[in-house]
Structures are given as C-alpha cells and as structure tokens.
Chains A and B, each alone.
Chain A
C-alpha cells in the first residue's frame, strides 16, 4: 500500500526566505504527483502537477521536482511571503485511480 510522508509537519520562517518542503512515497510506480495548497477551512488549490516522466515543474515562485526512483519530491518556494502561509499537501496517483495524500506541511511566513 502506498504511503506518503511529508516533512516537516510544520514550518515557521521569516518573510523573504527561500524554503523547501519535502514529500516521500514508498511505491515508485506512480503516474503523477500533485502539490496542493489548503487554507484553513477551505478546499484544496492545485499548485503543480508532475507527470511520472517529468523531473520538475515551475509556476511563478514555485518549483517542484520529482525523483521517482528514490520516491521523493520537493516543493521549492522562493522569496516567501505572508500570503504563502497555508498547509501544503502532496499526493501521488497510483494504479487504481487513487490519489494518496501526505499529511501536509503547515507553513507560517512571518512578516
């Protein structure tokens, strides 16, 4: 059974820092990996999707990488801002059409 782990569980940084969020998964037979953002009491917002054949994807200040063989993905956030404060979730798609989610990293960016 696929297991997805996100480290750290919580992170607090001052505004302007570059930061890295980590996601690891136990079964490398994935179709894709998706990063989401969730604000308190809200739904999930899709940030980036990396297909299994890709190594990275970029959107604005966000860059996500995927190393399928080692079962790892990182989400890099450049020049963090208070508005980036949220919980970040990664999820992998396996056979069976099932997204398996990690527990999330709760990010606080202090002004």
Chain B
C-alpha cells in the first residue's frame, strides 16, 4: 500500500467551527488531492496540489481552503463548517499528473 495516512479518521463538529484535516505521505509524490465522497454524487475533487505551495481548485472548492508547506503534508481546512460538508474525505497522491492516483483511508466528518 502507498504510504498515505489521514488524520483524524473520524470527527464530529458543530456548524460554524473551523476544521482541519491532514494528509501525510511517505512516497515523496509531487501531486496530492482532496476528494469528498457523498451518496448520489460519487467522488468529487475539492482541491489539489502540484508542488509545495502550489495548489489549484477542483470541482467543489467553495468553503474549503488548502495548504502545502512540505512535500509530505497537505491540509484541508473548512473555514466555517456547515452541515452540507458532512462527508467522507479522501486524500490521494500521484507522482505524475497522468499516472495512477493512490488513495488514503479516508476521514469521516459529521457536522451537526
């Protein structure tokens, strides 16, 4: 398995609070991605990074921000969590944009 960990694995929070999810990789891959998975919508890209301090928006980026200060860490922040952000969040990594993506175990986030 690709060396990808996500923390926390489960989180329950309240509407309006900030939340940060962390993705950590030991593969030294250049590309890192954040997806969310929802019933009826499948997996959708939130943001991705193509290098340290280099990020771009995905399909569903509103309400989310990301940061990548080191190759191995990619943080996803919900500035003010809403119930619509209740979801399972997956991090993925890849060494090239056109190569395989490898996924982490996911974080289940519940916003009450």
Contact = CB atoms under 8 A, between A and B. Distances in A.
A and B together in one complex: yes
Interface of A: 31-32, 34, 36, 42-46, 49, 51, 89, 91, 93, 97-99, 101-104
Contact of A93 (B42, B50, B98, B104): B98
8 contacts: A36-B103, A46-B102, A46-B103, A51-B98, A93-B97, A97-B48, A98-B45, A101-B44
A97 B50 contact: yes
A43 B42 contact: no
Given A34-B101, A98-B58, A103 B42 contact: yes
Nearest to A32: B98
Contacts of A99: 33, 43, 45, 101
Interface of B: 31, 33, 42-45, 48, 50, 56, 58-59, 90, 92, 97-106
Q: Which of A31, A36, A91, A97 gathers most chain B CB within 10 Å?
A: A97
The majority secondary structure among interface residues of chain A is strand
Contacts of A97: 31, 48, 50, 56, 97
Given A97-B48, A97-B56, A98-B59, A46 B101 contact: yes
B99 to A, nearest CB: 7
Contacts of A43: 90, 103-106
B77 to A, nearest CB: 21
A34 B100 contact: yes
A97 B48 CA distance: 9
A42 B98 contact: no
Closest 3 CB pairs of A and B: A44-B103, A101-B43, A43-B103
Nearest to B58: A98
Contacts of A98: 45, 58-59
B43 A31 contact: no
